[in-house]
């Protein structure tokens, strides 16, 4: 095996309970997004666009759809013999088996996997964020700082800082304090949950943390505070650009509406930083003789015989005659029957909206069906 400079470990085992129905039978990273993508596409595409060709995907909660979707990794050009994408579920050993108990525990159990590539650096990612980032730039800073750990941060409005994990840095950008959801924040640099570790430092910290019975085996709660205490060189990397955690129905809905504004900040049409997805075999979509679509994104395989306004319409969706869809997100294979009305709603994969029924309203909260 050739030595890799940097590999990525993508945490994809979370349940994402705040997404309700969407994650009932499906892991959060495998939830459909933007009509044809799945949330994990954004992190995977970042890896590929950053030249990282080895990605371990840590799965645990309902991984079937995710496994199938990742396949051989071909869709992201990650089907290489020397690296590629690897699905890493919990496994048993001579002493029994256990679930991944926390984010750090998941990585701990795959130390062998990482050692196999003998990397200098490991990027730790979440599979549920929407952003475009070149991890290489972050790695360059990590190396220039001779850092043990670099944490990607964003400036958030001061009044919102108490909702995030906040990092306080000195003039050099070296982290002096980490506070999870502080009541009185002294910094507005929020952690994005994207870490680059020098592998020997991380490996040792994981082994020590594993021995610590009181630890919750979590990066934010345990590993980072531990390294801070040991006065390891921890630096921030300031990211500017679009970043969204799509962990709640409202933020998931808002992120879709962000795609529909003029010159969206998160541009899926940008060829220089392409978003890859495991595409499908649907024919092009059909706008029928009476169909109408404006101010919307529409995917292959859709058949539009009704009216669509300001919405995202997923793969294989059918909208019958006299049906009306406005300000909504329709996931793949939804069927809106004749005369039905959908407004400000997120409709889960494969749902059928009955004839002449009505879902959502123009002024209420976003409805999930």
- The site for other proteins (CB under 8 A) is made up of 34-36, 74-75, 268-269, 274-277, 279, 281-300, 303, 308, 312-313
DSSP string, 201-261: HHHHHHHHHHH-TT----IIIIIHHHHHHTT--EEEEE--S-EEE--SHHHHHHHHHHTTS
CB of 129 to other proteins, least distance (A): 19
Q: Work out how close the CB of 299 gets to other proteins at its nearest, in angstroms, rounded to a whole number.
A: 4
Q: How far is the CB of 340 from other proteins (least distance, A)?
A: 19
Least distance from other proteins to the Cβ atom of residue 323, Å: 16
Least Å distance, CB 266 to other proteins, is 11
Closest distance of CB 40 from other proteins, Å: 15
Nearer to other proteins, 177 or 292 (CB): 292
For the four alpha carbons of 27, 33, 37 and 43, in that order, the dihedral sign comes to negative
Where does residue 30 fall: left (phi above 0), alpha (psi -120 to 50 degrees), or beta otherwise? alpha
The structure tokens listed for 335 are: 């069927």
Calculate the CA 305 to chain-centre distance: 33
- Taking the least distance from each CB to other proteins, the nearer of 110 and 307 is 307
Torsions phi, psi of 85, nearest 5?
-100, 135
- DSSP symbols for 172-212: TSBEEEEEES-SS-S--EEEEEEEEEEHHHHHHHHHHHHH-
Which is closer to other proteins, CB of 22 or CB of 302? 302
Element holding 7 (H helix, E strand): strand 6-11
Closer residue to other proteins (CB): 130 or 139:
130
Answer yes or no: are the C-beta atoms of 13 and 58 closer than 8 Å.
yes
Q: Which two tokens stand for residue 253?
A: 């809905």
CB atoms within 10 A of CB 178: 20
CB of 285 to other proteins, least distance (A): 6
In the complex, the smallest distance separating the C-beta of residue 65 from other proteins, rounded to whole angstroms, is 18
Nearer to other proteins, 268 or 369 (CB): 268
Residues facing 195 on adjacent strands: 124, 151
Quickly tell me which residue has 């390891």 as its tokens: 232
Cα R_g (the chain), whole angstroms: 22
Structure tokens at 236: 């921030």
Residue written as token pair 């541009």: 267
CB closer to other proteins out of 33 and 108: 33
Query: Token pair of 51, please?
Result: 């030249």
C-alpha dist (Å) from residue 343 to 157, 301, 347, 368: 31, 22, 10, 11
Instruction: Choose between 223 and 259: whose C-beta lies nearer to other proteins.
Output: 259
Give the count of beta carbons closer than 10 Å to the beta carbon of residue 359: 21
Distance of closest approach, residue 278 Cβ to other proteins, in angstroms = 9
Query: 207 or 261, CB closer to other proteins?
Result: 261
Nearest approach in angstroms of CB 77 to other proteins is 11
Give whichever of 91 and 269 is closer to other proteins, judged by the CB atom.
Answer: 269
Give the residue with the Cβ less far from other proteins, 41 or 209: 41
């Amino acid at each position: 095996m050739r030595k890799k400079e940097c590999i990525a470990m993508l945490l994809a085992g979370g349940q994402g309970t705040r997404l309700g129905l969407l994650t009932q039978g499906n892991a959060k990273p495998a939830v459909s997004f933007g009509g044809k993508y799945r949330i994990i596409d954004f992190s995977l595409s970042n890896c590929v666009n950053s030249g990282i060709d080895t990605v371990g995907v840590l799965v645990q909660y309902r991984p079937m759809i995710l496994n199938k979707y990742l396949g051989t990794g071909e869709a992201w050009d990650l089907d290489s013999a020397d690296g590629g994408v690897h699905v890493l579920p919990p496994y048993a050993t001579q002493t029994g088996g256990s679930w991944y108990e926390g984010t750090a525990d998941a990585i701990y159990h795959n130390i062998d996997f990482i050692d196999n590539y003998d990397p200098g650096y490991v990027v730790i990612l979440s599979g549920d964020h929407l952003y475009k980032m070149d991890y290489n730039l972050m790695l360059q800073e990590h190396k220039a700082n001779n850092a043990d750990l670099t944490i990607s941060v964003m400036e958030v409005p001061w009044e919102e800082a108490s909702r995030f994990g906040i990092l306080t840095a000195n003039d050099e950008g070296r982290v002096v304090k980490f506070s999870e959801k502080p009541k009185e924040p002294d910094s507005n640099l929020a952690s994005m949950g994207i870490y680059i570790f020098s592998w020997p430092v991380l490996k040792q910290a994981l082994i020590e943390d594993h021995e610590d019975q009181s630890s919750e085996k979590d990066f934010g709660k345990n590993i980072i505070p531990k390294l801070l205490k040991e006065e390891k060189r921890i630096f921030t990397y300031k990211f500017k650009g679009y970043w969204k955690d799509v962990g709640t129905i409202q933020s998931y809905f808002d992120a879709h509406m962000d795609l529909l504004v003029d010159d969206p900040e998160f541009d899926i049409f940008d060829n220089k930083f392409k978003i890859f997805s495991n595409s499908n075999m649907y024919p092009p979509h059909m706008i029928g003789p009476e169909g109408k679509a404006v101010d919307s994104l529409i995917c292959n395989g859709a058949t539009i015989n009704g009216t669509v306004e300001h919405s995202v319409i997923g793969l294989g969706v059918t909208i019958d005659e006299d049906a009306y869809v406005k300000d909504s997100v329709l996931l793949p294979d939804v069927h809106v029957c004749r005369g039905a009305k959908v407004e400000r709603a997120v409709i889960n994969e494969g749902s059928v909206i009955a004839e002449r029924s009505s879902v959502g309203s123009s002024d209420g909260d976003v409805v999930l069906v």
